[in-house]
């Protein structure tokens, strides 16, 4: 019994130490964004000889949004002679195919791919499109996104640097005013991109390619074996595959694109569980390769490891709560101490996209929307919600490793009704 109590106390100390590390990390990021110089990417470069770009848009039953994203891309200021738009109809049964065929008949730049055999899912769809694309620069948008007219040029110009393997832009919700959930997700996005991603880029750490509103070199991805169709977080896996092989991943804060975030808690639960499952799968696969990579500095490795386990942190916290409860019943923890631990992790973890309240608040300040700070106390609901569904995703990933079961891609439900919101585009 004494050994059990000792192990419980040791784990509790480990949990507190882990929270302190992440708190300091986020605090450093916050200070960097408030007082540090923002590192620019390549948007000031003027070059008339940009690469041919292939824009890929994976679609599965996207009738509600398919026309919107194509309409926006057709308004681009990029040279149409060096552009192709490839919507990928991935086993759709709702009329998506017919919509794409109408645009293909009207615009030669729109070249849809219809997939009705083979492996389904975003990684498989991207792999097929990459092999058929003519552009060296591949830019990906999810079907619900509304790209501004200048974003293709903002992303493509970064690849004039021969060391750049991938570029990530910023995601901004377009349906923020729908309900409380969409407003809280807007806070998450602000903290995650305006502070977390930009600070990692400023400090020479590891910005993350997010799978949409970003681009990569076709030849490099082909050389590395294309996307792994067994991983749900194909974007995170690409980030680490590029990094451990010596390629740069850039963050372009000015390259903003507008998305539709989930409008119901059920859809959000399935989304974040899928993210957690995929991200933790990458964690299991890339823990040692990151540490062994000769191309990463020590601080890049440390940041890469903290980024890898970020979807495991809620599991550690949940186990820490269980340990404190067990110690209380063993008579080894006073109720005041137990409540103190609970309040400590609650105060620390009142976060959005794994960013504490001060990081989200800083993002609101930098975005010039300080009124959103009034919603910060409500992020506590997101914390407990995220903790539960991220933990379920972690369990899914563990079972995947043990049983080698096949992962099934599940798209996020769309909610858009009516025309594109003009004020954003």
- Report pLDDT for 46: 64
b/e map 18-55, b = 16+ CB within 10 Å: bbeebeebbeebbebbeeeeeeebbbeeeeeebbbbbb
Q: What is the CA radius of gyration of the chain?
A: 22
Q: Are 317 and 387 in contact (CB under 8 A)?
A: yes
- As beta bridge partners, residue 115 has 90
- Find the angle CA(246)-CA(251)-CA(256) to the nearest 5 degrees: 150
Q: Which residues contact 106 (CB under 8 A, 6 or more apart)?
A: none
- Report pLDDT for 350: 43
- Report pLDDT for 133: 94
**Cα separations in angstroms, 30 against 171, 249, 377:** 19, 21, 18
- Report pLDDT for 32: 94
Q: Are 281 and 228 in contact (CB under 8 A)?
A: no
Reading phi first (left if > 0) and then psi (alpha if -120 to 50, else beta), residue 74 is in alpha
Kind plus residue range of the DSSP H or E element containing 373: none
Q: Where are the domains of the chain?
A: 9-42+161-405
Alpha helices (H) in 36-65, listed in sequence order: none
- Report pLDDT for 48: 65
- Report pLDDT for 409: 73
Gap between the Cα atoms of 342 and 290, Å rounded: 33
b/e map 211-233, b = 16+ CB within 10 Å: bbbbbbbbebbeebebbbbbbbb
- Report pLDDT for 332: 67
Residue 381: CB atoms within 10 A of its CB come to 14
Q: Are 158 and 164 in contact (CB under 8 A)?
A: yes
Tens of pLDDT, residue by residue, the chain (425 residues): 778 888 887 888 788 788 778 888 888 999 999 998 888 777 666 666 788 999 999 999 999 899 999 999 999 999 999 999 999 999 999 889 999 999 999 999 999 999 998 888 899 999 999 999 999 999 999 999 999 999 999 999 999 889 999 999 999 999 999 999 999 999 989 988 999 999 999 999 999 998 889 999 999 999 999 998 888 889 999 999 999 999 999 999 989 999 999 999 999 999 999 999 999 999 999 999 999 999 999 999 999 999 999 898 888 888 877 887 777 777 766 544 555 555 555 555 544 345 567 888 889 989 998 888 888 888 878 877 888 899 999 999 999 888 888 777 777 888 877 544 343 34
- Report pLDDT for 330: 73
């Amino acid at each position: 019994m004494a050994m059990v109590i000792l192990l419980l106390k040791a784990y509790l100390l480990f949990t507190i130490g882990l929270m302190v590390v992440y708190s300091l990390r986020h605090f450093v990021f916050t200070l960097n964004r408030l007082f540090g110089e923002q590192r620019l990417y390549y948007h000031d470069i003027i070059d008339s000889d940009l690469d041919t770009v292939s824009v890929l848009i994976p679609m599965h039953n996207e009738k509600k949004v398919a026309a919107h994203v194509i309409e926006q891309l057709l308004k681009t200021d990029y040279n149409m002679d060096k552009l192709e738009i490839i919507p990928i109809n991935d086993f759709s049964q709702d009329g998506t195919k017919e919509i794409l065929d109408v645009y293909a008949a009207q615009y030669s730049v729109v070249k849809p791919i219809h997939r009705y055999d083979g492996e389904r899912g975003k990684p498989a769809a991207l792999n097929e499109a990459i092999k058929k694309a003519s552009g060296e620069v591949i830019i990906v948008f999810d079907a619900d996104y509304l790209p501004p007219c200048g974003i293709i040029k903002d992303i493509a110009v970064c690849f004039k640097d021969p060391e750049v393997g991938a570029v990530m832009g910023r995601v901004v919700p377009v349906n923020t005013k729908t309900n409380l959930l969409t407003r809280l997700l807007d806070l998450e996005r602000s903290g995650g991109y305006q502070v977390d991603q930009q600070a990692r880029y400023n400090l020479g750490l590891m910005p993350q390619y997010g799978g949409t509103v970003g681009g990569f070199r076709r030849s490099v991805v082909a050389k590395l074996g294309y996307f792994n169709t067994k991983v749900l977080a194909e974007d995170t896996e690409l980030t680490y595959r590029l990094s451990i092989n010596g390629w740069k991943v850039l963050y372009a804060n000015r390259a903003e694109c507008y998305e539709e975030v989930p409008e119901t808690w059920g859809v959000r639960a399935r989304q974040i569980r899928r993210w957690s499952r995929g991200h933790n799968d990458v964690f299991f696969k890339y823990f040692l390769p990151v540490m062994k990579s000769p191309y990463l500095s020590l601080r890049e490795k440390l940041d890469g490891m903290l980024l890898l386990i970020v979807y495991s942190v809620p599991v550690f916290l949940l186990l820490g709560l269980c340990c404190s409860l067990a110690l209380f019943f063993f008579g080894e923890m006073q109720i005041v101490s137990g409540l103190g631990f609970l309040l400590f992790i609650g105060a620390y973890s009142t976060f959005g996209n794994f960013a504490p309240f001060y990081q989200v608040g800083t993002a609101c300040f930098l975005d010039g929307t300080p009124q959103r700070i009034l919603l910060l106390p409500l992020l506590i609901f997101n914390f407990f919600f995220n903790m539960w569904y991220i933990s379920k995703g972690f369990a899914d990933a563990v079972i995947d490793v043990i049983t080698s079961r096949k992962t099934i891609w599940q798209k996020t439900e769309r909610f858009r009704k009516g025309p594109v919101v003009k004020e954003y585009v």
